[in-house]
Structure 1
Amino acid sequence: MDKSTPYPLGVTLRENGINVAVYSETAEAVDVAVFGEDGGETTHRLDQRSGHVFHGIVPGGVGTRYGFRVHGEWEPGEGLRHNSAKLLLDPYARAVEGSWGAGEETFGHLFDDPEQRNDADSAGSVAKGVVVDPAFDWEGDTAPRVPLADTIVYEVHVKGFTKQHPDVPEEIRGTYAGLAHPAAIQHLLDLGVTTVELLPVHQFVQDSHLGEKGLRNYWGYNSIGFFAPHNEYSAAGDDGSQVREFKEMVKALHAAGLEVVLDVVYNHTAEGNHMGPTLSLKGIDNGSYYRVVEEEPENYFDTTGTGNSLNVSHPAALQLILDSLRYWVTEMHVDGFRFDLATTLTRQWGDAHVHSAFLDIVHQDPVLAPVKLIAEPWDTQGYQVGGFPARWSEWNGKYRDDVRDFWRGQGTLGSLTQRLTGSPDVYEADRRSPLCSVNFLTAHDGFTLADLTAYDEKHNDANGEGNNDGESDNRSWNCGAEGPTDDEGVNALRARQRRNLLTTLLLSSGVPMLLGGDEMGRTQGGNNNAYCQDDEISWFDWDAADADLLTFTRELVALRRETPALRPSWYANEAGPNTVSLRADGKPMGQHEWDDANARAYSIQFQAPGSPTVLLLVNGASNPVEFTVPPAPGGPWKLVVSSDPQQEVGREVAELLVGEWSTTVLRSGTIDG
């Protein structure tokens, strides 16, 4: 008979059952609850212990539904929250069946109420782990491994992307299978992006306070299962089939040459603070997995704004995160990760640190070496743009802010140039490259591009919080009217502004990230915090797509991909600087003009050996500006893209009148160099 082993943690299939291993320094005993088809529960005590790992062989196999009941002290004042009456989710579960209330019920029986701690959970309202078959025919699947310099990220929600797609079969809309459908993939290919960044797909929990208002957690930043693909996005069901469906999606995207990057939430979980529900880690080993306040162990150290933070100074929490990352790379074939509130993961003893255990372990891990690592470099207590190691790229919040400011008439040419050239003021001094900067103007959190140019104020009334949620300072400009308008002048200006912003983004050095739907004018009606809008506010409206804007975006993406000068890996090449900036009259910029708020027009030239040269003419003034263009280095300048509909694409240019609030792009030299 096989003996049980303490590793791997979680469930491993064996010939005579399933090997189950659970880490807990504080538990007295651990039972595995196995559920039959009729919902009946049978418990099995894990009869062996190695170090702090309880383990044993339990009857079961593929499809077994299970959870843990952990015995131990209930002393919240000492940070101990064991309660065998609560069915706990295996933190290593590969799939999850069901949910906790699913928005229709409250979490009543799940909360830490000492007066009710012996009440048994209702088997019908608590999610369970499902044992899955790891076998899958990848059919020679190969990771695209797109170089960072060539990467164009497309941030998108699995459900929202295809929920209303007319060419995707209705039964798979809003699912992993829907995203894998040829119609969905064709849109990505036609657009020209290289890397799909999915909003959270780890199993997450619906918030009871949203359910009470008839709303749902849409974004998914409320994780509970770091190994399980969220079951609601599965067309095949939640009996473990969601794992296969997710793999099929990755395989289909890879076959089209597209990478898959996951937005992952390891900084906190759905269990919240001392008032939150006990679903998994809190009842297994609260103090090892969560950072508690040393002087008040019943409370949690929170730098995420959600009630808790993972205890990344503890080996068990670090192992959980790293085991999860490796699993998604080796078993699910994903190509990288964007780490939500990544600064929290660097807080070894409370302060953010570039040599934290988390960053050091990730840096030396051979499985993670070839994949993309992207940090959201802040949390509620720290802003760390530029503070991550050279191995990492970062969401560059300074890029977003400075470019938005310029195009609403409040920024300077100096700040705009820093962002166009890959933010050397942030990265160059530490010998980091422009590729450390993930440039973005909009993301899931905040206005869409269309709304950025149509609203001065947020309009979040549908969220049920009296419009008090969401960011109030959006650095937006409605161009003269708030929201939809029949004013042709306002609408024309908005159209130019959207093109100006997209031109800036896709010509900037660094790694551009496009918010899904911005390419076709997706609006959320001014809602800048649509985290709870699992409806038409958030879903793509394919029937309302702005076809002209989509064509314009495709042209910009193609220009970027065809022009190496727009994709430098370093701030200077062997032939000298990558960029040259001139005044509109063709003369060198004066030092005072960089910071002069009244200086609103200039040109910036992008050049590199073996590449066509690109000249961007920027006019952020409210009046037309006559440009004298510099001599063309590789044949005449030809106008290739412009946000001004009056410009004639394809004509040769020596001088040019650039309209107010507009950009025009010239190119010299052929695409093949």
Structure 2
Amino acid sequence: MTTYDIRAGTAHTMGVTHDGDGANFAVFSANADRIELCLFSEDGRKETARLTLPERTGPVWHGYVPGLPYGTLYGYRAHGLYAPDQGHRFNPHKLLIDPYTRELSGDFTNDPATYGFDLAHPERDRTPSKADSAAYVPKSVISHPDLFEPALAPLDGRPLSELIYEAHPKGLTIQHPDIEERLRGTYEGLCADPILDHLDKLGVTTVELLPVHAFPDDGFLLDKGLRNYWGYNTIGFFAPSPRYFGPAGFAGFRHMVRRFHEAGIRVILDVVYNHTAEGDHLGPTLCYRGLDNASYYRLIPGQRRFYVNDTGTGNTLDLTRPYVLRMVLDSLRFWVTQMGVDGFRFDLATTLGREAHGFDPHGGFFDALRQDPVLSKTRLIAEPWDIGPGGYQLGSFPHEFSEWNDTFRDTVRGYWRGDPHATQSLGGKLLGSADPFDRDGRRPWASVNFVTAHDGFTLADTCAYAEKHNEANLEDNRDGHSHNVSDNMGVEGPTDDPEILAARAQRARNLLATVFLSQGTPMILAGDEMGNSQGGNNNAYCQDNEIGWVDWTGDAALTAFVSRLSAFRRQHSVLRQLHFLHGRKRAADALPDVVWRDFAGQPLEWRDPGLDRLVLVLRSSAETTVGEDDADAVLLAFNRSEKPGRVKLPRPPSGGRWVRRIDTAAPDAAPTAETGTAAIAGASVLALSIDMTGGPL
């Protein structure tokens, strides 16, 4: 092995800091007895040096090695007590990734050597393994500062008319015929001209990417010939996953962000800070478990061999520990200040707010995030649930957050399917779900409205399947949610019946229209605008193939209709209010800001169990300062009955007229002026707006 000098260094900056002459290493472990720095050859195959970090300041071990060049590969070995029943799993035979590494070199290999215990021993994890794992674990990299220069900045503020487009970083482009083959499935492919043009036509302002943090493939999936496609299994919170690298490698991610920003599109990352890829007590030792299992993870009191599993994935990160919380915050700041991203969607965000007494919206993570001068300005979205006790927390997050609103999804699907009492529930969802969100100064945009997301059926499958069909996941169709609130229109799956196909197309337009015409933040799943199907698979997490990828040979007419919906929403601020509507009278004209009516223009009978039609007229909120939008109004009519009807129109302002703009039964129809009443087809949505110009439409 090569001989290196190692000096005390500093504990101030975690991870590796290169000063141009050498590298400082700092790593957290409150319970280790000794930490060794391991250096490797350029190909990562040979360990060239093993140096003990000479100093410990509090729980941080550190050392400085002069003369180390940029690009050096390294890892750690941690010495200490191997006593799983006490929560400790130190094993120096296991090479450990630096939790702060920006780059990983090499691939994860699912080998028995990566486990801290002897898999063949009858006592399993109670018996440490002596097999060296270095050959099967990626090496951390001393990154060159040119990778992060110049620093990238997020776009300012939240767009006034936001449309979120949830997409997989590979699946969106891997089958796109107009993208260079070498760029398909990569970060550079995501920002290729055909994608930017498509997003511009849709009016997308925010792209929300499924996890890009480095993650391995689960062993049980590899054994079945499958892969982890979605990526909710992080092992490197600072490192972009190399599986999406294109010709530019690491730099491709920053290039993608720049291109999106130049197009006026923000980038949000779906981030997983609730658990790691190391799994439960029988999982591999790759990083955190080997560095300090008892500090990084929540362990069951009195049974510290086992992990608290509020996430359903085997382990739960312990953000009540200061250095674990610091790692998460440092990671978030890195992605904002160095990589330029604009915000985050927090997977299983309830877990992040768990204190000893349970979920707390004023817990340490939320307080630290909200006061941070960088992170407090970013777009923050919570998935407001986990599987732990009291895990469902819709509406409970701090006011800076928006939240995925699954009740919107289920209500809208249920309404159009014909479920009892869904009409009454729909009324509240159309106005931003005030029941959970209208408190503490929160705004309607707090509700992220969607009818589909990566987890569950696509839009096309919601209209074509009554049951999940996950056989390709090789779990005997046991995985995935069974409560889909979907409908097959009479035939399960593919059909050539023109009536059924027409009904499915109409249902898809109705679902999309409801998303775009509701108060809140609309979100659509990539591919839904083209009728993309996963063949009834509602849990395609392991389908890195045509099942999970977006098919671009889709429905151009549906894409055009989505563009029309998006444009209509942008043109009318009454569809994206900054305050909740409660029917209060406006100072401008003493008219209420929202009026509910039946088709005959009479007050709705909300107690009618058979209620299936409703009309609402929207004007600017009574809480909005008097201004130029006061004359604007939008009338929305929802008819889930198969019977057509006529909607009585309120009197327009002097000199104005009602114009039919959106009709899901006639998606291509040109705008037409309406007087007195407006016809509405069965099972359809109608949207009219006020025109004050009097000119041709």
Q: Which band: TM-score by shorter chain?
A: over 0.9
**Is the CA contact (8 Å cut-off) linking 2:83 and 2:126 kept in structure 1?**
no
Q: Which residue of 1 aligns with 2:33?
A: 28
Whole-angstrom CA distance in 2 between matches of 1:518 and 1:598: 31
**Retained in 1: the 8 A contact 2:94–2:116?**
no
- Residue 685 of structure 2 aligns to a residue whose secondary structure is strand
Is 1:18 the counterpart of 2:23 in the alignment?
A: yes
Other-structure match for 1:7:
12
CA shift at 1:245, angstroms? 1.4
Q: How does 1:578-617 map to 2 (within 5 A)?
A: 578-589=593-604, 593-608=605-620, 610-611=628-629, 612-617=632-637
CA offsets, 1:172-216, max 9 Å, x none?
110101112112211111111100000000111100000011111
Q: Report the CA distance between 1:523 and its aligned residue.
A: 0.5
DSSP-derived class of the 2:617 partner: strand
Deviating more after overlay: 406-415 vs 296-305: 406-415
Q: Deviations over 1:129-174 (max 9, x none)?
A: 1121233586796533352542111100000010011111111110
Give the secondary-structure state (helix, strand or coil) at the position aligned to 1:7: coil
Matches within 5 A, 1:14-163: 14-38=19-43, 39-41=45-47, 42-58=49-65, 59-101=67-109, 105-113=110-118, 117-136=128-147, 143-147=154-158, 149-163=160-174
Change (3 A) 1:164 1:418: same
Match of 1:504 in 2: 514
Deviation of the 1:412 alpha carbon: 3.0
SS in 2 for 1:159: coil
SS at match of 2:365: helix
Deviates more, 1:346-355 or 1:643-652: 643-652
Letter in 1 for 2:180: P
Does the alignment pair 1:492 with 2:524? Answer: no
1:177 aligned residue: 188
In 2, Cα distance between equivalents of 1:155 and 1:273:
29
CA distance in structure 1 between the aligned counterparts of 2:360 and 2:527, rounded to whole angstroms: 36
Change in 2 beyond 3 A, CA 1:153/1:5: same
Q: Which amino acid aligns with 2:546?
A: E
Change (3 A) 1:280 1:109: closer
Question: Are the aligned partners of 2:275 and 2:316 in contact in 1 as well (CA < 8 Å)?
Answer: yes
Q: What is the letter of the counterpart of residue 101 of structure 2? A: A
SS of equivalent to 1:308: coil
Q: Of the candidates 438, 442, 461, which is equivalent to residue 451 of structure 1?
A: 461
Using the alignment, how far apart are the partners of 1:338 and 1:474 within structure 2? 23
**In structure 1, distance between residues paired with 2:333 and 2:469:** 41
Shift of 1:289: 0.8
Question: Is residue 254 from structure 1 mapped to residue 261 from structure 2 by the alignment?
Answer: yes
CA distance in 1, matches of 2:357, 2:269: 26
In the TM superposition, residue 670 of structure 1 has moved relative to its aligned partner by 5.5
Does structure 2 retain, via aligned residues, the 8 Å contact 1:21–1:53?
A: yes
Q: Output one character per residue of 1:312-337: Cα deviation in whole Å (capped at 9) or x when no partner.
A: 11111111111111111111110000
SS at match of 1:622: coil
Cα distance in structure 1, aligned partners of 2:667 and 2:450: 28
- 1:244 paired with 2:246, answer no
Question: Structure 1 residues 80 and 141, CA, compared in 2 at 3 Å: closer, same or farther?
Answer: closer
Whether 1:639 and 2:660 are equivalent positions in the alignment is: yes
State whether structure 2 residue 587 is matched by structure 1 residue 569: no
Cα displacement string for residues 81-116 of structure 1 (whole angstroms, at most 9, x for unaligned residues): 100000001110101122222xxx445542433687
1:432-451 equivalences under 5 Å are 432-451=442-461
| Residues 138 and 588 of structure 1: CA distance in aligned 2, closer, same or farther (over 3 Å) | farther
Q: Which stretch has the larger CA shift, 302-311 or 179-188?
A: 179-188
Separation in 2 of the partners of 1:486 and 1:600?
29
Measure, in 1, the Cα distance between the counterparts of 2:316 and 2:241.
21
- 2:569 is matched with 560
Aligned counterpart in structure 2 of residue 624 of structure 1, from 622, 631, 644: 644
| Secondary structure in 2 matching 1:519 | helix
TM-score (ref. length: structure 2): 0.92
**One-letter code of the match for 1:662?**
S
| CA–CA distance in structure 2, aligned partners of residues 111 and 670 of structure 1 | 73
The equivalent residue for 2:678 is 656
Displacement of 1:645 in angstroms is 2.4
Gap runs ≥5 in structure 2: 1-5, 119-124, 621-626
Deviates more, 1:561-570 or 1:111-120: 111-120
Code of the aligned partner of 1:465: E
Check conservation: 2:73, 2:140, Cα contact below 8 A: yes
The verdict on how the C-alpha distance between 1:307 and 1:247 changes in structure 2, with shifts beyond 3 A counting, is same
Q: Percent identity?
A: 46
For residue 317 of structure 1, what is the aligned residue in structure 2?
324
Q: 1:118 offset after TM fit, Å?
A: 4.7
Q: Of the candidates 534, 550, 553, which is equivalent to residue 559 of structure 2?
A: 550
Deviation at 1:373, TM superposition (A): 0.6
**TM-score normalized by the length of structure 1:** 0.95
Q: Which amino acid aligns with 2:617?
A: Q
Equivalence for 2:423: 413
Q: What is the CA deviation profile of residues 380-433 of structure 1, one whole-angstrom value per residue up to 9, with x for unaligned ones?
A: 021000111111111111111111111111143321111110111112244422
Q: Distance in 1 between matches of 2:692 and 2:356?
A: 55
Contact 1:585 1:627 in 2 (8 A): yes
- The 3-state SS of whatever aligns with 1:665 is strand
Deviations 1:355-387 (Å, cap 9, x if unpaired)?
111111111111112100100000002100011
Using the alignment, how far apart are the partners of 1:646 and 1:26 within structure 2? 64
Distance in 1 between the 2:112 and 2:565 partners?
49
Residue 691 (structure 2) pairs with residue 669 (structure 1): yes
Structure 2: which amino acid aligns with 1:81? R
Match of 1:308, as an amino acid?
A: N
Contact 2:297/2:307 (8 A) holds in 1:
yes
Other-structure match for 1:198: 209
CA contact (8 A) 1:32 1:67 kept: yes
Query: What letter matches 2:46 in structure 1?
Result: G
After superposition, the C-alpha distances for 1:63-98 in whole angstroms (9 at most, x for unaligned) are 111111111111111111100000001110101122
Q: How many residues align?
A: 662
How far apart are residue 21 of structure 1 and its match? 0.2
For 2:206 and 2:692, how far apart are their aligned partners in 1? 27
CA distance in 2, matches of 1:522, 1:138: 39
What is the rounded CA distance, in whole Å, between the counterparts of 1:560 and 1:549 in structure 2?
A: 17
Paired with 1:581 and 1:138, the residues of 2 have a C-alpha distance of: 55
Name the SS of the counterpart of 2:16 in structure 1: strand
* CA distance in structure 1 between the partners assigned to 2:211 and 2:519 by the alignment: 27
Distance 1:116 1:162 in 2: 46
Change (3 A) 1:146 1:360: closer
Write the distance in 1 (CA, Å) between the matches of 2:106 and 2:593. Answer: 54
Is the 2:213–2:234 contact (alpha carbons within 8 Å) kept by the matching residues of 1?
yes
Distance in 1 of aligned mates of 2:411 and 2:549: 29
Distance in 2 of aligned mates of 1:364 and 1:325:
14
Q: What is the root-mean-square deviation in Å for CA atoms of aligned residues?
A: 2.1
Q: Report whether the alignment pairs 1:336 with 2:336.
A: no
Show the counterpart of 1:279: 286
Quick one: which amino acid aligns to residue 15 of structure 1? Answer: G
1:44 and 1:139 map into 2 onto residues whose CA distance is 33
Gaps of 5+ in 1: none
> Using a 3 Å threshold, how does the CA distance of structure 1 residues 107 and 578 change in structure 2: closer, same or farther?
farther
Whether the aligned pair in 2 keeps the contact of 1:33 and 1:67 (CA below 8 Å) is: yes
Contact 1:149–1:568 (Cα < 8 Å) also in 2: no
> SS of the residue aligned with 1:560?
helix
Q: Distance in 1 between matches of 2:459 and 2:354?
A: 33
* Displacement after TM superposition at 1:2 (Å): 8.2
Query: Tell me, what secondary structure is at the counterpart of 1:284?
Result: helix
Give me the whole-angstrom Cα distance separating, in 2, the residues matched to 1:150 and 1:387.
24
Tell me, in whole angstroms, the C-alpha distance in 2 between the residues paired with 1:646 and 1:564.
22
1:156 touches 1:199 (CA, 8 Å); kept in 2? yes
Tell me how far apart the structure 1 counterparts of residues 377 and 668 of structure 2 sit (CA, whole Å).
44
